[in-house]
Structure 1
């Protein structure tokens, strides 16, 4: 039987938990392919993937790198995203651009939260996977334990494709089960020696090959018949069955080795070519589905070069030398540089700049791109990550990026007034690069608030802000946007009378305040009869009330959920004016509110927390201590999802607390739910604190 035809492109993402050696494996793959002359090191800051100053400083990836290289006749586009939980948006975005994934496991660490969440997205996208168990040059790292991790934590049967020989500091070879060879290699040379299997390893090889062939034959009746009849499978049949099983995710092919020692790397490089699908093979079973940007009609692209052009932008990078770069997966068709296309997401035409093939920070100009390729496009004006570019005469819009929302927020102050504009401009540019950051000016608290997925995420953003835009900020806990309201009805008169040399000022009105249901806001009405107040002065009274509502009588917070009715008053034919009635309305509102039992309101958040089962008790107890109310607990595979209503004031520093309770395995999202009354004892403390703060500000 003829071996399947190999297509010329492979698009692969390498993912892992932080510190598992993902970037080291990327470096080793470049090394064995001949793309780089020497093997770089993460600790020494010499890898191709990690080139940003922040990455060199932290000795870890902070942004997705695109690595374009050749393996034989095949072009490989390798995406190397960060592994840290705080940077989860990067690998999730990268998965949208690839046809397959390599998961790097550290035999000791298992599957941590960040990798579990990436695995869930891999599963949802049905992406074919290979596993590389790294770090087998270290003492205590066990390949069998890593296989068990795949079985239990990834819930997918593992099948060893290579076996490590002499794991530990002296490791220098793996036994390649599919090829039936011993492959010896090391860091001093990119070449690997393929040797016959020694007699003493024949038993180990036979057992592993039997496991592999049985796994392949189980999913194909024709192969099963051949195996039963012959007791083995030919090289061609085994390869065909393996490719089919990888594409349909029947099991996880697992490779062993050490990236920093360049052991086992040749086998995984060969597997990228021989086992992982080409873009067209992947699209044949999972075509790209989108919608017409005007009609909403579903459209499909099968990923070949003869279809109308379409492409998906999965990342934006602001390069200090090249400028703005958009990393783009060409889904269908062919496109030339400097062509005008249609951005179906934003409904605008976009002139494409130069095209680049990317290897870390090296950019090689190319003139065109075809279906299946990943390129960087220079200087797109309106296009953001998650946008679809397409042929205007046959448009299609693919779904946007589904990224985690920020959970940790800090108020930020520019270190000098001269830097305020630079801070704002810089952060908006950084959000173009990383949509999981958020930056807003809070209209209630008058603060600039920066939000991210964790402390590392925020720290990296501020380091980039300093380096790229020359702006520095200080961080502090953001203020809570409290509100004030009333509990009972009250009435009061506002009378403003002022005599000057010429015309005086005279305004007199009676207001009635009544509470509204929570969330109703503000209602103003006039019940004046008999011309006690001329109609043309009523809007001025309302304006005075609205201005008075900006600062309540308890602590100066905005007033909400109040109905205000003007029902009586008096005026002076000469001295009355809109200004005098505006002041009278403000005076009457403040007087009435003081006697209407004003109370403080706080924002309540609906919080959804995913926690491992063994931490549910601790998390629920902590939520109760934070004045939270548990709404539901729902089992979800090996974890549980707790939904609770919790005051925002208690959630400002929740991310590190949840990490501590769950060993980094928990995660959460929250949304504003509603305002609720602050408990009396706490309200008293808050009111006193805000009075002290305002006095301190006034003193300065």
Structure 2
């Protein structure tokens, strides 16, 4: 297979909303280039990119799929991405390694919810972007509406290069860069090149001038030429467009019918000659602060952006050659672990089809198998101390579920499967809650969760069930209380005896020392679950030997691990042990541990105990027109609104919300905002549970305990 240099490799991520036609466009581009002789369709489930059984079942892309094609001495690596933000990890990884983004917009709908969400991610990476308005031949298409909605999204930097026109019943595309009219037959394919009709010349010239002005703005020399001549040559115009794309100041807008292969060849020609390559992009800064450039003469660096587990072959790792070259049998080092990897095979991928190659050069995208120590986001370099490419950052989980094996004997199998899925999908998070004894997975939404469930059952042969996770509450007290407890046990020979008098109080940072006690010692215990136990030795007259105080504190700490209300952790209490009794023969550590634990428990229940619940900070981003509905929903979830700020056409609602109320909030927000709302949360701290809810929780816990 031909090896292309870094100036002739174009990496393009096809992104866009669900049903915008990305997969069909990718299929048509492969067909147009002659790499496939017959186009598949999503309806017939025979496209190159949507090859996975899960995608066939869903009728839509779930995974990002690398493809490649060749067009007029250029290699174009395409990555066909999903259109649902539940699979945002696949989209982000594709954008990360692309040199140019092609955002596909459905001409029937214009910029819709999915387009907005994905554009927000694409825009963060500041990658050159071309917009492709698809389905121009559909009876319900509205190009003007779609273009207007695009202007509302990104402003005047969206510059029309083409627009559709029907002439005598034939679909045409007016190209204001080439100043040509392309006329297509009923089934599309190769167009007839024609002069622009006279009645369209005024509009076409106006759009051409706008394009020229926008291109000239990106270079002083071009601006001077434009002022001198009043126009730019095609070569000069293309140079200005490329500079504008690199500066993120110009976004060319094309139109196509991917289904009928109308305008696809022209789009590919533009990608070839104008769209930036890795060579054109600015050098990237590594984690170590060094610069990495797509130059084949530099030290080799591969960035692993995607991993797929194949049951019969193991892990398939996709990478971009960030610099240097890689050849079969090269020995490279994982810069995270220092482990050596041998690249036994190199492939160029077209969906599930692997094309073996001997070498890949800077800027290219490829794959290899059976790396032993390397995961997604890792860098492979020429030596263990090579620079590390900055890893991708993924959004936090929006949905958390407790996960169990449907068959309890398969818990270990389930955990291993989830770990393997996580290696492939870093937006899936795994954790274990030691308090609730539940395995917790975090994902991006209900569709993401459904995909994980399908993969578990169909790829790893393990069935799982998902539940709302239990909330980790805390227990504490609201007033002081005293108690004493005598532990006495006699059963022949030495017995057990210990008596403890103590007082407990709520503890807060910076409070005064307790009054009325002769404090002989103090110990502060930072509790693993947060908060503190402050333990005072206030014994006078030696009524309890000092050696028994650690046992008393140990008994108290054991109670604090299983609070009397709901078996939740206790926090922020101070204890003064001020009196007691011991026996010269029968007293021992276990006696005072039991006495201390029981005295503490009795005092706790008399100190107006309360439950505390975890509270999260929340930031909700929604369209301005939906603010009222979302605010109402938040208030029903006991959220405290702290402020509202403008963000373009969006509102940012900042507040605090109990974690217990976040269950299903993702689905509810999507329903209220028709999918246009997003949110992020982070743990804030613990606050008191309202009295009526506390009573419900204690009653529920008591019932469950009795049932067990």
Given the two structures, how large is their TM-score scaled by the length of structure 1? 0.92
Compared CA separation, residues 416 and 395, structure 1 to 2 (3 A): same
- Does structure 2 retain, via aligned residues, the 8 Å contact 1:175–1:205? yes
Match of 2:284 among 282, 285, 288: 288
- Does structure 1 retain, via aligned residues, the 8 Å contact 2:41–2:47? yes
Q: Greater CA deviation, 384-393 or 423-432? A: 384-393
- Does structure 2 retain, via aligned residues, the 8 Å contact 1:173–1:264? no
- Does structure 2 retain, via aligned residues, the 8 Å contact 1:485–1:600? yes
Other structure's SS at 2:191 match = strand
Match of 1:355 among 337, 346, 352: 346
- Does structure 2 retain, via aligned residues, the 8 Å contact 1:514–1:564? yes
The match for 1:424 is: 415
1:38-80: per-residue Cα shift (whole Å, max 9, x none)? 1111122111111111111101111111112211211111112
Q: Establish whether residue 557 from structure 1 lines up as the match of residue 555 from structure 2.
A: no
Other structure's SS at 2:37 match = coil
Gaps of 5+ in 2: 510-529
Q: Establish whether residue 340 from structure 1 lines up as the match of residue 331 from structure 2.
A: yes
Aligned Cα root-mean-square deviation (Å):
2.5
1:536-561: per-residue Cα shift (whole Å, max 9, x none)? 33222222222212222222222111
1:137-162: per-residue Cα shift (whole Å, max 9, x none)? 22221111121122111224333222
Compared CA separation, residues 339 and 6, structure 1 to 2 (3 A): closer
Q: Establish whether residue 383 from structure 1 lines up as the match of residue 374 from structure 2.
A: yes
- Does structure 2 retain, via aligned residues, the 8 Å contact 1:85–1:113? no
Report the CA distance between 1:592 and its aligned residue. 1.0
The match for 2:211 is: 212
For 1:627-642, list aligned pairs within 5 A: 627-642=638-653
Report the CA distance between 1:126 and its aligned residue. 2.4
1:560-607: per-residue Cα shift (whole Å, max 9, x none)? 111233332222233233222222222112111111111111111111
Report the CA distance between 1:377 and its aligned residue. 2.5
Q: Distance in 1 between matches of 2:129 and 2:222?
A: 22
Report the CA distance between 1:361 and its aligned residue. 0.7
- Does structure 2 retain, via aligned residues, the 8 Å contact 1:246–1:275? no
Other structure's SS at 1:481 match = coil
- Does structure 2 retain, via aligned residues, the 8 Å contact 1:338–1:353? yes
Report the CA distance between 1:279 and its aligned residue. 1.3
Report the CA distance between 1:116 and its aligned residue. 2.5
Compared CA separation, residues 535 and 664, structure 1 to 2 (3 A): same
Compared CA separation, residues 536 and 110, structure 1 to 2 (3 A): farther
Compared CA separation, residues 227 and 313, structure 1 to 2 (3 A): same
- Does structure 1 retain, via aligned residues, the 8 Å contact 2:621–2:679? yes
Q: Distance in 2 between matches of 1:351 and 1:523?
A: 56
- Does structure 1 retain, via aligned residues, the 8 Å contact 2:170–2:183? no
Q: Distance in 2 between matches of 1:43 and 1:522?
A: 64
The match for 2:518 is: none
The match for 2:190 is: 192
Q: Establish whether residue 508 from structure 1 lines up as the match of residue 499 from structure 2.
A: yes
Q: Distance in 2 between matches of 1:470 and 1:522?
A: 47
Report the CA distance between 1:105 and its aligned residue. 0.7
Compared CA separation, residues 246 and 159, structure 1 to 2 (3 A): same
Given the two structures, how large is their TM-score scaled by the length of structure 2? 0.91
Q: Distance in 2 between matches of 1:185 and 1:378?
A: 44
Other structure's SS at 1:448 match = strand
The match for 1:129 is: 129
The match for 2:8 is: 8
1:166-214: per-residue Cα shift (whole Å, max 9, x none)? 399x76542333334443557968x523422364666365454344334
For 1:18-97, list aligned pairs within 5 A: 18-97=18-97
Q: Distance in 2 between matches of 1:348 and 1:495?
A: 61
Q: Distance in 2 between matches of 1:199 and 1:26?
A: 31
Other structure's SS at 2:320 match = strand
For 1:347-496, list aligned pairs within 5 A: 347-392=338-383, 395-496=386-487
Q: Distance in 1 between matches of 2:700 and 2:86?
A: 33
Other structure's SS at 2:534 match = strand
Compared CA separation, residues 393 and 592, structure 1 to 2 (3 A): closer
Other structure's SS at 2:286 match = strand
Other structure's SS at 2:279 match = helix
The match for 1:295 is: none
- Does structure 2 retain, via aligned residues, the 8 Å contact 1:326–1:378? yes
Compared CA separation, residues 387 and 692, structure 1 to 2 (3 A): same
Q: Distance in 2 between matches of 1:631 and 1:464?
A: 41
- Does structure 1 retain, via aligned residues, the 8 Å contact 2:117–2:676? no
Q: Establish whether residue 269 from structure 1 lines up as the match of residue 260 from structure 2.
A: no
1:333-384: per-residue Cα shift (whole Å, max 9, x none)? 1223333323223454444442211111111222232211111122222322
Q: Greater CA deviation, 197-206 or 332-341? A: 197-206
The match for 1:498 is: 489
- Does structure 1 retain, via aligned residues, the 8 Å contact 2:342–2:371? yes
Compared CA separation, residues 75 and 619, structure 1 to 2 (3 A): same
Q: Greater CA deviation, 536-545 or 20-29? A: 536-545
**How many residues of Structure 1 are paired with residues of Structure 2 in the alignment?**
683
The match for 1:685 is: 696
Q: Distance in 2 between matches of 1:515 and 1:350?
A: 57
Q: Distance in 1 between matches of 2:558 and 2:48?
A: 59
Compared CA separation, residues 199 and 606, structure 1 to 2 (3 A): closer
Q: Distance in 2 between matches of 1:495 and 1:139?
A: 87
The match for 2:150 is: 150
1:203-236: per-residue Cα shift (whole Å, max 9, x none)? 3654543443343345455545555665654333
The match for 1:236 is: 235
1:408-467: per-residue Cα shift (whole Å, max 9, x none)? 112222111121111111111111111111122211111222221110011101111111
For 1:100-115, list aligned pairs within 5 A: 100-115=100-115
The match for 2:244 is: 245
The match for 2:634 is: 623
Report the CA distance between 1:504 and its aligned residue. 1.9
